[in-house]
A and B are shown apart, each in its own frame.
Chain A
Amino acid sequence: MSVSRREFLESSGVLLVSFSVAALAGPLAVAQGPFETHASHIDPAKLDSWLAVSADGTVTAYTGKCDFGQGMFTAQTQLVAEELCVPLERVKLIQCDTSVAPDQGTTSGSQSTPVNFNSANLAQAAATAREALIALAAKRLGEPDNQLTAAGGLITGKTGRRVSYGELIGGQRFNLPLNPSAKRRSLAQWTVLGKPVPSLDRPALMTGQFEFVHNVRVSGMFHGRVVRPPEVGATVASVDENSVRQVPGVVKVVVRKDFVGVVAEKQYQAVQAANQLKIKWNPGIGLPAQKTFYDNLLKQPSRDVLMVDSKDVEQKLTAAGTVVRATYIYPYQLHGSLGASCAVADVRPSQTTVWSATQSVYPTRSIVAKLLGAPLESVRVIYVRGSGCYGLNGADAVSFDAALLSHAVGRPVRVQLSRQDEMAWENFGSACAIEQRAGIAHNGEIVVWDCESWVAVRGGRPGYERPGNLITGLLAGYTPETVTPHAAAEPAGELRNNANAVPSYLAGCIGGKCGGGGSVRSERVLTHAVASPFFTGPLRSPVRIQNTFAHECFMDEIAAQVGADPVALRLRHLRDPRIIGVVKAAAEAAKWEKRASPRPNQARSGTVSGRGIACVAYEGHNGYAALVAEVTVDLASGRVQPRRFTAAVDCGPISNPDGLRNQIEGGILQGTSRALLEEVTWDDKRVTSVDWETYDSFYVGMEVPSVEIVLLNPTGVPATGAGETAITVVPAAIGNAIFGATGIRLRQVPFTAERVKAALQERRT
């Protein structure tokens, strides 16, 4: 990765962009593009920003969506190969380098497929290029373009005459705008997309040759470590630089307000210096007791949003024959990346380069510029894969750490976080409390549903403007986004169910227009954002997994209350055909036995078994999943063992079924770990989940349940996200299966053996 910028560009085929700083200067547009991108020096409206064809016919494509293990590199390579009708191996994809790739904001939120695989951006660029090449060939061959066929990087006419892409455009710009009406190849024509192409990184990964950001080495590079505060909110009183004078190789102690780091020649020297550096800290802010945290969460001032309100909820609840109510609790959870985060920064007087595993190269570039007081155009961020992230791990923070330390020593610095740095200070998945009430008519129909949720938030992705949303920025003197309490406005516009705050069974009507997935028309959903003592961020299926846990367990409680089959009750109240489709497909594949839960006549000792279902229309319309979980519960220990999962997923046309299955399998088991084990803990001063002994996770040696997957592959609909749909339904499906086995309803994640055992004992007494 120590190639020079020029070498890099030359090797990428064509010199597309001028890199003189002068050429990049000038007003950078601030208009918000789709998914909060900013216009950059690379204009996404121009075809040449996305694609280049070299003289030998190699296609170099540039994307702002990166691969961190979810398979985007391979899928995007397939996309370009498909639309351009070239073999896969002729496509060279450059991902997320701010010197050559367009600004596509953040790779997150299950947005990459919708953004790049439908009718815009990378897909549209490739389709535009194919049509442009055919037009050029028509001219060259003197045949009408509708008589030409493109295949294998060649365009052939009816006469059999042919011309290669390299001959037509090799090494030159297209000088064309992206054509919004360029025709995508149809599913029936697909030869590369839609196939289970093996992920292109496999041979290098399996043989230890793949370059992770942890492996980036730059000549003249030093090693840095940071020293985070001992308590949440602690500030620096003084730093005794002399305390590490005796440590060999120490280059510098760097202090910027409450940010402290050390730089040394070798990594182990930096570790020793960080351990030995004497710092006097002012005490922290103190933390609320974990035991009563959720009770207090409901009492805090909050920023409220009223998603839907039919205004008749209280009246209908009073009139209803039966009212069911329950409160659900979801804990803070960690991204807990396997590798503690790492980055390399090389800050020079006129130019800065950062090698980063951030999912947001352009926002990271903006924040680094801010932290250094450097012009935006002087900063280049190059994405290099880190350890699997699942949202916002320490990758962004460590990139800022590296920039600050390199800036202080004038040399490239590699920063490796310690395990404790990573876990104690990452942006946790939000803790939530969710209250549900429903009224049921005598015929078993749900006539009214009321849902009120409290979500703890602080900071988040820094975006382009907020360094303080992460620990490094906060320590360096910036403030995080916090909650400004205000009352909810009346719902207006169309229902936007981005965080799945609205259960799928609600009609979701605003001003007469109903955007929900279900039939319940007396409805109210009110959300409260509450200030969190810890940083929070978008952990895989952010707030969607929490809300879906509450909605789908509650639906099960209603089913049990009225003695209905949980699948049948769902189908009775769903209207969206695609969520109905996945529920039916999962139930059928699992050979779902139609009856009410729990299973009757269960044993009172030994091991019992049960099944549960949950479903979601992810973000309302961005992917659909249903999951049947089958578990056994050991009644003596309370230990829950998942035995079999059956998932049905509909994410529109599938780009790569193997990659999709990999995401679903991993999502289901990750969700299992989070449902059964994972919870951040703290004491009165600090986070106490700081390693794998203080934060539980399933290991590879766990007893792995069978995972069966049904992929629906509808045509005539756009591609949706796929990485977060399956995990979203796991805690609810498992919770419902535990109920199915034991009749015990657990309303707090994780369902640890201790909690299950305590609930079983409570029933006995």
Chain B
Amino acid sequence: MSKISLRVNGRVYTVDVDPATPLLYVLADELGLRGPKFGCGMAQCGACTVLVQGQPMRSCVMPMSAVGQDEITTLEGLGTPGPPHPIQQAFIEEGAAQCGFCLSGVILTAKALLDEKPQASDQEIREALGGVLCRCFTHVRMLRAIRKYAGTRKV
């Protein structure tokens, strides 16, 4: 066990854990965050996605020892029900969820792409989401919501 500090959603936390502990367990168990979720533990599905310095990362395979002082943003770090972040707003308006377990992967991956590349093509959006799973298959609405957010970014 070691005391490790980390920066999450604009705050600094110190936790006492084995440095090999995956970031996901710290976010979920020590910090009580609900956004990132355990899907597979092998970086295959995206349910545990967080942004690290704006880049989507799979927190289930990222050991605490590798986190350092990089700024981590979880789904709840983007916005709240009042007010949500524009991409969350687009997902709310399009009703782009069923069970909602996949949303960290879908929303954060799409946001990272469109923040870096507001003009991203449909093909590029598809490629970015090529490793993100939604087993309820709410794809039609999710892509609509992502395009809606992209529309606001292009202006």
Q: Please determine whether A69 and B25 come into contact, CB atoms closer than 8 angstroms.
A: no
CA distance A707 to B144 in the complex (A): 12
Judged by a CB distance under 8 angstroms, whether B127 is at the interface is yes
With A206-B92, A207-B81 in contact, do A700 and B129 touch (Cβ < 8 Å)? yes
With A206-B84, A212-B34, A215-B34 in contact, do A662 and B138 touch (Cβ < 8 Å)? yes
| Nearest chain A residue, comparing its CB with the CB of B35 | A208
Q: Please determine whether B39 and A340 come into contact, CB atoms closer than 8 angstroms.
A: yes
CA distance A389 to B105 in the complex (A): 18
**B residues in contact with A390, CB < 8 Å:** 135
Most chain B CB inside 10 Å of its own CB: which residue of A204, A338, A386, A699: A338
Query: Would you give the shortest CB distance from A692 to chain B, in whole angstroms?
Result: 4
Q: Please determine whether B102 and A338 come into contact, CB atoms closer than 8 angstroms.
A: yes
With A338-B135, A666-B98 in contact, do A701 and B126 touch (Cβ < 8 Å)? yes
| Nearest chain B residue, comparing its CB with the CB of A385 | B99
Q: Please determine whether B135 and A670 come into contact, CB atoms closer than 8 angstroms.
A: yes
Query: Would you give the shortest CB distance from B20 to chain A, in whole angstroms?
Result: 7
Judged by a CB distance under 8 angstroms, whether B75 is at the interface is yes
Judged by a CB distance under 8 angstroms, whether B79 is at the interface is yes
Query: Would you give the shortest CB distance from B25 to chain A, in whole angstroms?
Result: 5
CA distance A658 to B95 in the complex (A): 8
CA distance A387 to B133 in the complex (A): 12
Judged by a CB distance under 8 angstroms, whether B136 is at the interface is yes
Judged by a CB distance under 8 angstroms, whether A419 is at the interface is yes
| Nearest chain A residue, comparing its CB with the CB of B75 | A208
Query: Would you give the shortest CB distance from B51 to chain A, in whole angstroms?
Result: 12
**B residues in contact with A215, CB < 8 Å:** 28, 32, 34
**B residues in contact with A666, CB < 8 Å:** 98, 136-138
CA distance A386 to B101 in the complex (A): 8
Within 8 A of A (CB), among B1-56: 1, 17-18, 20-22, 25, 28-29, 32-42, 44-45, 47
With A198-B95, A340-B38 in contact, do A206 and B129 touch (Cβ < 8 Å)? no
Query: Would you give the shortest CB distance from B34 to chain A, in whole angstroms?
Result: 5
**B residues in contact with A214, CB < 8 Å:** 28, 37-38
* The residue from B81, B85, B139 contacting A209, defined by CB atoms under 8 A apart: B81
| Nearest chain B residue, comparing its CB with the CB of A211 | B34
CA distance A697 to B99 in the complex (A): 17
Q: Please determine whether A702 and B100 come into contact, CB atoms closer than 8 angstroms.
A: no
| Nearest chain A residue, comparing its CB with the CB of B29 | A267
Query: Would you give the shortest CB distance from A230 to chain B, in whole angstroms?
Result: 18
Q: Please determine whether A697 and B135 come into contact, CB atoms closer than 8 angstroms.
A: yes
* The residue from B38, B98, B126 contacting A70, defined by CB atoms under 8 A apart: B98
Judged by a CB distance under 8 angstroms, whether B106 is at the interface is yes
CA distance A269 to B29 in the complex (A): 12
Tally of contact residues, A, Cβ under 8 A: 65
**A residues in contact with B25, CB < 8 Å:** 266-268
Within 8 A of B (CB), among A655-702: 658, 662-663, 665-670, 672-673, 691-693, 697-702
| Nearest chain B residue, comparing its CB with the CB of A221 | B29
Judged by a CB distance under 8 angstroms, whether A117 is at the interface is no
Contact with B along A724-739 (1 / 0, CB 8 A): 0000000000000000
Q: Please determine whether A419 and B97 come into contact, CB atoms closer than 8 angstroms.
A: no
Within 8 A of B (CB), among A189-205: 198-199, 201-205
| Nearest chain B residue, comparing its CB with the CB of A336 | B135
Judged by a CB distance under 8 angstroms, whether B107 is at the interface is yes
Judged by a CB distance under 8 angstroms, whether A248 is at the interface is yes
Contact with B along A249-279 (1 / 0, CB 8 A): 0000000000000000011110000000000
Judged by a CB distance under 8 angstroms, whether A742 is at the interface is no
CA distance A407 to B106 in the complex (A): 38
CA distance A206 to B125 in the complex (A): 19
**B residues in contact with A662, CB < 8 Å:** 95, 98, 138, 141
Judged by a CB distance under 8 angstroms, whether A210 is at the interface is yes
Judged by a CB distance under 8 angstroms, whether A54 is at the interface is no
Q: Please determine whether B103 and A212 come into contact, CB atoms closer than 8 angstroms.
A: no
Within 8 A of A (CB), among B122-154: 125-143
Judged by a CB distance under 8 angstroms, whether A68 is at the interface is yes
With A209-B34, A214-B38, A662-B95 in contact, do A338 and B47 touch (Cβ < 8 Å)? yes
Judged by a CB distance under 8 angstroms, whether B104 is at the interface is yes
CA distance A743 to B84 in the complex (A): 51
Judged by a CB distance under 8 angstroms, whether B59 is at the interface is no
Of the four ranges (under 10, 10 to 19, 20 to 34, 35 or more), the interface on chain B belongs to: 35 or more
With A207-B81, A208-B104, A665-B141 in contact, do A248 and B98 touch (Cβ < 8 Å)? no
Most chain A CB inside 10 Å of its own CB: which residue of B102, B133, B136: B136
Query: Would you give the shortest CB distance from A561 to chain B, in whole angstroms?
Result: 34
With A199-B95, A207-B76, A700-B142 in contact, do A691 and B44 touch (Cβ < 8 Å)? yes
CA distance A70 to B136 in the complex (A): 9
CA distance A68 to B136 in the complex (A): 10
Judged by a CB distance under 8 angstroms, whether B80 is at the interface is yes
Judged by a CB distance under 8 angstroms, whether A418 is at the interface is yes
Q: Please determine whether A669 and B140 come into contact, CB atoms closer than 8 angstroms.
A: yes
Contact with A along B82-101 (1 / 0, CB 8 A): 10110010011001011111
Judged by a CB distance under 8 angstroms, whether B78 is at the interface is yes
Q: Please determine whether B101 and A338 come into contact, CB atoms closer than 8 angstroms.
A: yes
**A residues in contact with B136, CB < 8 Å:** 69, 388, 666, 670
**A residues in contact with B134, CB < 8 Å:** 338, 700
Within 8 A of B (CB), among A623-682: 658, 662-663, 665-670, 672-673
Contact with B along A365-388 (1 / 0, CB 8 A): 000000000000000000001111
Contact with B along A150-165 (1 / 0, CB 8 A): 0000000000000000
Query: Would you give the shortest CB distance from B109 to chain A, in whole angstroms?
Result: 8
**B residues in contact with A199, CB < 8 Å:** 95, 97
| Nearest chain B residue, comparing its CB with the CB of A214 | B37
Q: Please determine whether A701 and B127 come into contact, CB atoms closer than 8 angstroms.
A: yes
CA distance A70 to B100 in the complex (A): 11
Within 8 A of A (CB), among B59-89: 74-82, 84-85, 88
Query: Would you give the shortest CB distance from B146 to chain A, in whole angstroms?
Result: 9
Judged by a CB distance under 8 angstroms, whether A177 is at the interface is no
Judged by a CB distance under 8 angstroms, whether A490 is at the interface is no
Q: Please determine whether B38 and A416 come into contact, CB atoms closer than 8 angstroms.
A: yes
CA distance A339 to B140 in the complex (A): 21
Judged by a CB distance under 8 angstroms, whether A703 is at the interface is yes
Query: Would you give the shortest CB distance from A198 to chain B, in whole angstroms?
Result: 6
Judged by a CB distance under 8 angstroms, whether A17 is at the interface is no
Q: Please determine whether B99 and A68 come into contact, CB atoms closer than 8 angstroms.
A: yes
CA distance A268 to B101 in the complex (A): 21
**B residues in contact with A316, CB < 8 Å:** none
Query: Would you give the shortest CB distance from A344 to chain B, in whole angstroms?
Result: 12
Q: Please determine whether A208 and B132 come into contact, CB atoms closer than 8 angstroms.
A: no
Most chain A CB inside 10 Å of its own CB: which residue of B28, B37, B125: B37
Judged by a CB distance under 8 angstroms, whether A217 is at the interface is yes
29 contacts between A and B (CB under 8 A): A198-B95, A199-B97, A203-B84, A206-B84, A207-B80, A207-B88, A208-B35, A209-B34, A209-B76, A212-B34, A212-B37, A217-B29, A217-B32, A267-B25, A268-B20, A268-B25, A336-B135, A340-B39, A387-B39, A387-B101, A388-B135, A418-B41, A419-B42, A666-B136, A670-B136, A672-B137, A691-B44, A701-B129, A702-B139
Q: What are the 8 closest A-B residue pairs judged by CB atoms, nearest first? A: A208-B35, A69-B99, A208-B75, A388-B99, A208-B76, A669-B137, A701-B130, A205-B100
The interface of chain A, by Cβ under 8 A from chain B, is 68-71, 198-199, 201-212, 214-215, 217, 223, 248, 266-269, 336-340, 342, 385-390, 416, 418-419, 658, 662-663, 665-670, 672-673, 691-693, 697-704, 707
